[in-house]
Amino acid sequence: MSRLNAVVAVALVLMSSPAFGAPFGVDDFQDGTTMGWFVPDPGNPVPPVNVATGGPAGAGDAYLQLRALGGANSGSRLSVLNESQWTGDYLAGGVEGIAMDVKNFGPADLTLRLLVVNFPVAGPPTDVAWTLASVMVPAGGDWTRVLFDLSAANLFAPFGSVAGALGDVNELRLFHNPAPAFGGPGAGAPPVIAMLGVDNIQAVPEPSTLALLGAGLLAAAGAARRKLFRG
């Protein structure tokens, strides 16, 4: 392998490495569980389930399946949350977004958003924020890698503050709502008939970090190319 190709190879490996999501890992669902993703209503007839095959990598690639039934009863809305491995200080961790693979198996186009919540030890949440820019997932599409922007400019805090929510996340929620709003259990997001596949959920670093890294690696590649051509 030439020196130039080696530099490019290192760049690709580094920029795709899960290490950029530290201190959070990657939810790939290969352990056969939902990895802590759940719906709070015990009466929900369609809770999240682990599907053992058919993820982005094909046969043997497990993924998380989310469903909603529409109507007015339990399970009518598409919403799932995590209160375990996705808690913590996103600001200190340099987390500026969350990426995941998604596939819309249902009949309706979906508009996805993220919600971050800071709960005190007891009582109602003190800080809540959700994403303004949505991620559109058309019905009938294939697996697609998407990114939810968690920068301050893309978050709205109806009470508390964006910094307060990101600085102590106790709940991360993925939900469908064409409007940039979340009304809480049984309100806000519209009912929808849906089946969504989710896989490889991963935190990503600040865009500035990636930009600096990319610029440095491109400069190194350029230097290697110049040296190669001169030598």
Tell me whether residue 11 is in a domain.
no
Q: Evaluate whether residue 229 is within a structural domain.
A: no
CA 140, distance to chain mean position in Å, is 20
Dihedrals phi, psi of 111, to nearest 5 degrees: -120, 105
Full domain range(s) for residue 171:
23-202
- Helix, strand, coil abundance in the chain, percent, nearest 5: 20, 35, 45
pLDDT at 23: 54
| DSSP character at residue 13 | H
CATH number at residue 152: 2.60.120.260
Count structural domains, the chain: 1
Q: Give yes or no for a contact between 220 and 227, defined as CB atoms under 8 angstroms apart.
A: no
Distance CA 118, CA 23 (A): 18
Residue 217 lies in a domain: no
- Asked if residue 177 is part of any domain, the answer here is yes
Tens digit of pLDDT at every position of the chain (231 positions)? 444 444 334 344 334 443 334 457 899 999 999 999 999 999 999 999 999 999 999 999 999 999 999 999 999 999 999 999 999 999 999 999 999 999 999 999 999 999 999 998 878 899 999 999 999 999 999 999 999 999 999 999 999 999 999 999 999 999 999 999 887 655 568 999 999 999 999 999 844 444 444 444 444 444 443 333 334
Residue 13 counted as domain residue? no
Residue 173 lies in a domain: yes
- Tell whether 220 is covered by a domain: no
In a domain, 8, yes or no: no
Per the CB < 8 A criterion, the answer to whether 208 and 215 are in contact is no
pLDDT score, position 83: 96
